[in-house]
Every structure is written in C-alpha cells, then in structure tokens.
Amino acid sequence: MRKLMIPLVVILIAVVLMSIFVVKEGERGIVVRFGRIIKDDTTNMAQVYEPGLHFKVPVFDRVRTLDARIQTMDDQADRFVTSEKKDVIIDTYVKWRIQDFGQYYLATGGGNTSTAEGLLKRKVVDSLRAQIGSKEIKQIVSGPDRGNNVDEGAVPEEDKSVAIASEIVEEVAPKKELEGQRDKIMADVLAETQISARDLGIEVVDFRMKKINLPDEISESIYRRMRAERESVARKHRSQGREKAEVIRAQSELEVAKIISDAERVARIQRGDADAKAADIYATAFNKDPEFYNFLRSLKAYENSFSSKQDILVVDPNSEFFKYMKESNSVN
C-alpha cells in the first residue's frame, strides 16, 4: 500500500500542475478544448481570463495567451496615386489592440500577430488609397487651417514635403482654390478601418500619416526648379545691393569732396590772415628802424645768394647789393 501512495501522489501533483495556468499582466488568456474556444455562457463570447492564477481541464484544454496592450503597426511607406495622377509616398502608423479575443484567435490563425497586422494593413491601405485617389496633393499635405496659403518660410528645412507639393499644385492648377483635408483624410481612414477591422476582432485606436514624400525623380526636378528660382532671387538682391552700394559710395565721395573743399577754404582764409599779420609785423618793424630792417633783408639776401659753393654770381662790386659788406670791411 505504501508503495502505491508515492506514484499516486506524484500523479496527483502532476494533474494539479497541469490544471493550473498563469496569465501575466498585460495579457489575456483563452482556452481551446478539442479545437473549439470555450465560451462564456452569459455573453456567448470567448471566455477571457484576466491576469492571475486560473484552472483548466488537464490534457483536454489548451491555453492561448494573447497580448492585450495597444500595438503599433509601423511598416514601410507605400506609393499612392492622387486625383492628379501624381505619385506620392506616404508613411503611416496604426495603433490597435484586440477587442474580441475569440474572433481574433479564429481570424488570425491562432492569434498570430504577423498575420493580424498583414490583414489590418491591407484594410488600411485600401481605405487610404481610396481617400488619396479622390484628393489633390495640396489637399493631402495641408490641414484645414492652412488652406491655400502655405508659407514657405514656415516649412522646416528638413521637411520639404509641403513645399514640394505646393510647387506641384501651383504648376498643375495655380488658380484653383483648394482646402487642406489631411486631418479629414486621417479621420475618415480611421473610421472606415475601425468598422472593417471588427471581423478580425481588432479595435483600431489611432491612425496617422507620419510623412508625405514625392518619388525621387519628381523631387529632384522640383528641387532644380526651386533652386533656379532662389538663384534668380539672389541675383536680384545682389543687383539691388550693388546699386545701393554705388549710391552710398557716390554720396560718400560727395561728402568727402565737400569736407575737403571746406577745409581748404578755411585753410586759405587762415593762411591769408597769417600773411596779413606777418606783413603788418614787418611794416611795423620797418617803420620803427628802417635801416635795421634793410640790414636784415640784406643778410637774408646774402644767405640765399651764397648758399651753394657751386653758384656763380656776376655783380658789380660797387652796386648797392654789397653796401653792408663794404661798410663791414671799413669798420674792420
């Protein structure tokens, strides 16, 4: 009897362990029995097990845990065609979570997340393609508050999508007024996807267009045109700058000439006044002692005449020029 107790205890423990399962926080569990999901008798929907410790029928029941948190589907950008037959590349993301765990399990082949996102992406892309196909580029890239007035200065340097799209719209229909409908497009896609995703047991929480670009070949041509326009504007500014520089330079030269002229006029006036004062001083000195004045003038003449040894002066020795020299010799 004692020998049978040990195997029975082991079997009992194994049965108990096989009957227990734990659902982690952020997850929900459903039980599949003979390939069919166990449903709640009151709601007739799949019985969902909250986080915690639960029990099941061993061997016959199989537990499948599913992530109940909000998921983000952020895949590669897709190409769409607008009503103008222009290609745009739109990068989007979708926030979703499981609403009906039983329906989700059946629709995705056992709760496969990749399968669920593949089916959900198809619905999102189809809805977005229909919306983009009925809109023009400027309606796609502009919100309702921008309308037909896209300020190029307000566009960040690193995000050229709005500027490029605006250039295209001006080229295609420059006179046509367009209302920006980007927010409306996202709201419509979200509403349509929420309805179509119910058959997957998924609730779409949010949908956004992250980035709107143009194909490289179109972007490059528009960049070239924008660059040519900016160069034209730069040349115009440089020409205006040179014109203003010439005007400023001419005004400066006129001011300089005027200042120099005024300075020369003042200098001539002061020089004339000084010459007059000097003549007056000479006249006063001459009137006081004419003989001494004549003597000084003669000395100055002698100094200027005999300043160089190579000069030759032919003068009559008895002339008035040597008057003071003779008087000096006679005194000696």
The domains located in the chain, with CATH, are 2-67 (no CATH), 71-214 (3.30.479.30), 289-331 (no CATH)
Residues in contact with 155: Cβ distance below 8 Å, sequence separation at least 6, in sequence order:
162, 163
Supply the pLDDT for residue 221.
74
Q: How confident is the model at residue 222 (pLDDT cuts 50, 70, 90)?
A: confident
pTM for the whole thing?
0.56
Residue among 116, 83, 309 nearest 201 (CA):
116
**What pLDDT, on a 0 to 100 scale, did the predictor assign at position 171?**
45
Give the pLDDT band (50/70/90) at residue 212.
confident
Judged against a pLDDT cut of 90, whether residue 168 lies above it is answered with no
**Rounded Cα–Cα distance for residues 220 and 29 (Å):** 53
Q: Which residues of 306-322 are buried (b: 16+ CB within 10 A; e: fewer)?
A: eeeeeeeeeeeeeeeeb
| Rounded-to-integer distance, Cα 295 and Cα 209, Å | 111
Where are the extended beta strands (E) located within 56-146?
61-67, 71-73, 78-81, 87-98
Phi and psi at residue 110, to the nearest 5°: 95, 20
Taking only the tens place, the pLDDT of each residue in 26-60 is: 999 989 888 888 888 787 888 888 999 888 888 78
Q: For residue 332, is pLDDT > 60?
A: no
pLDDT digits (tens, 9 = 90+) for 313-325: 676 666 666 666 6
Residue range 128-161, pLDDT digits in tens? 999 999 988 888 887 665 444 444 444 444 445 4
Return the closest-CA partner of residue 212 out of 90, 84, 124. 90
The Cα angle at residue 305 between residues 301 and 310, in degrees rounded to 5: 170
Q: 45-54, 123-132, 201-210, 246-255: lowest mean pLDDT where?
A: 45-54
pLDDT at 179 exceeding the cut of 80: no
